[in-house]
Structure 1
């Protein structure tokens, strides 16, 4: 650069060079060097009071961060945005003193008009839909191909891209086109697909592909209203983020980086201003400097945590502090994450967006689980149940358990959902030709027993599909949630009903006689309604299990069950609470703590578990003095070297406590992982490794003392489970490792449990078609 980097000519040359280096003449080394020059220019401009120059430089620097970190040039739409930013930088070079903010060129008015792109072959129904949307003051564009879609989105912003069922197979490609066209822009549209109500398979395919919303195809007016509701949801309010930072240049950088992604930041220079901000209500996230001029950042975090409503806010420290003990102390005293200075924009954006989404989801979930439930929603479920049950042939199977109608999605509280199931069963029992009862198996599972005169397996599958369709009417953000169904599918009147239950009882008692292999807890089965005489006799008979367990079949809508449901079951041991990174209902935690049945908390994060422990400690409870940390790597991949090194280095400090962690929280973020290992080591946590092939798992766990449990995830295509188990068990005995097996079929699971000294078995026994387990229940 010339001697005066702030001269208009120097700025103009830098902008022109950026157009080339970040575009046609892309070179990774030159791009990195130029990226640093642009950052330096922003600092110089800020120091010289050149606000317009500093803002334009910083905006270009933030935009180019993703290009430099990914090591590849921008797409065509992104390059057009890059050129606009370079032109803005060149223009700002001639502005000497200014208090103006960012030099962003305003978008044309047409680009800000709410818009919808209809993707697909034009037809009469599409024309009618376009007319309805036009009457709602929406601009409607049409695209018959993905190339046209990319061009339309590059030209002007739209809120929705709407596909017809004919384009379903290209949903994933459409998402890629949307991302490519909107790279670097704030206004990414939501992808919506219109399907007929009975197209369950299409709905599941769309959600697997990542579609944001699925709309039921009806008349043009009704469909348009549903699309407008999707657009309303897409225009949800921006995240509210606070920045408490005394360094003005650092504050400017953070606000520019987040502002470019549409995240407004309220800035406080010290603790006093932060506390004044708190009077306006809690934000989604607080970025807090560790060292403030008037107070320590940790003190400020504690003061904010004590305020009502701040229990859901995420607090992330920004600091160049390298002292691990100080970082651990900050996390222990209320922080949720730590970002080290100098802050990398891409890392900052990732942390802020992830944490803010989580904070809002937790707050919304807590609001949904309040005791009040919409009466119309409750009546909807009752009407739906009556409609299904009045068709006698659609309720043929003897035992169906619903884990409530998924309380949060149905708008019901946890307790209310259980009561509704009882009402549903009672309604069923009043129907001619149908006998039913409700049996509570444990605190969160209610078994709905129903018998009908006629039974056909296809009709039972249809019944499940009907409920499944109702369950999955939500947006794609819910697609990772599971809905648990339990079924013991035996046709009424068949003697195999009693035989099947007796087989299960023998299985439970046999397993309970080997406490070193598997531990069950007795489930207190009691009647909510009068049980049929046959069931009462069975439950009271000597054949009933002494240690008990629920008969559960995991049924996931996104993984259709192959083969017959007949005679397939899975023994469920103690509680394993899966949170999906959301705080579950307090009632679940309290019951788990009271009964002592919580074995592990899966897919939670460190801050949540510590928060639960603190909350329960105030009530004189604790989750359990035992915690399992599950690190789930991709199948076939070895444990990352840095994570393995941390486990080895801290292995001597690991013992028994309570917790579960997911590797996706750690992957690629070594600093976070090291801090997590510090905290887990301080707590004394046992670590289990799951989800890799037997050979890799055996090697990794045999070498490193910090990883104490080997969980073999057998899948189709792996070596025979008996041979793999032999190898793993031998390794486990040699190194003192705990051995578990996951993902086996019913017959394989039973063989592994009783024919080998495996410690425990997990998995969904739905992939084999055996009508009878390949195991002799009569012997010891």
Structure 2
């Protein structure tokens, strides 16, 4: 690209180090050289001696004005794609002289890498370049989502109108005909960048806020929370849940319920003001107030609750007043990441549902433990420090037969006397000590290593791996799990994350977030210890489950007709939702037979095989 042909002054003396022009770069143009870009400009005449007005005019024309930017706004950033070094540096000098950051790319194929690094506001490029034309490069830029909206301006000496249309059709925003005056170039770049930045800000605002409610979008809210921890220790996070949504849906229908919850979001936005607030799922909202004094946490919770008492909403002509529960957490407790803070707020929400005021604060578990538990905790800490946690495996067998190998993974702790402690003994102690996250990661790492080893053998067993919902809600855990699956080459469908019902009810919001991430990798979810109640039944439909493991309550009391009938209804409901049901703690043939007659899909228990350290059950010849 040649902005304008120019002559080399053979009589000009080169700039030598230490000479009069030592401070000026050799490729920088001399004062007034910009005129050579203007083919229609007559040679400058010397002003009459003693004419200050004429002198000022010439000097004003000779120096391009610096581009003004808003206070605090970064300088405009421009990439110049030009294979002619002298002309590229000349354009760079003009733009830099106008207060912009400009970078030159001499080889068109290196442009995309430069854009990733430099993050330009605008591309200024030649139309004809070796290796790749400007139109080809523009098409490449437009196909990249990260740079698709960056303005592209061509500089061309081609006067053919059809060629100009071809340039615009390729995705370019504008073209400038050469030769071009520096001020014209500066003005064109400045105006394009200003509009592009305004559009970018508008797009970001649209992405950040829901258009109907004005609340922050869920993803943006979670991003902001992630940036706040662990340093944020002053303020509060409040969870607000709208109660009775199942009854509203059954009475008014899905469309009306969605309109009701949209109106509820508007109320939350109105009372939250400029404080970050978002709708996390269908009927749960979050409000984050950094810096809120501790003595104001409960007051703010009442305001969030009472906004629904004081405002009537409409549904199919009916006037409704919604009932809300509010759980909140004081950030002074200290949380290592946003996931831990949200888990605490959700736990407070569970407590609020049992309070007459429908408001509750997060209460950390008591630190006091029995002497026996203290001994077990010391042994658990030693086992974690020395990698001595053990895994046991119990087969999960289909009642109709099949050769798919699948095992429940169970954690065991062997104490100094050689006695094995089950998860039922270890987990409560670990939860009080805040060790569940570490245990879950160790167990999952071992399970993934086993699944990875299967790639080098003939075994392809599916593993059900127990995890605490609070662990799954940790900011980095989901990403770590997905990366581990990829690194080990493990198929996601061979991993089933197993979460207890009670845990899932407390942390349903975090659990749903985790599940949505895992579904893309094919990882499945099992809800264990299931026993029917309205909240548990609603969770079956809310979570993307694949399996439900029944509570031992059903197998233990299957001879009681009421329990048996209740279990059959659970199995039928699960099957209608496309879920497979596992009966556990099956100890005798009579229980297995009744489970089979009730429509169970799998059984697990000592009747099949007790938990053991090896995965050696013969699924192919198993008879129940």
Tell me the TM-score normalised to structure 2 length. 0.29
Select the structure with the greater relative contact order (CA < 8 A; seq sep ≥ 6): 2
Larger-Rg structure: 2
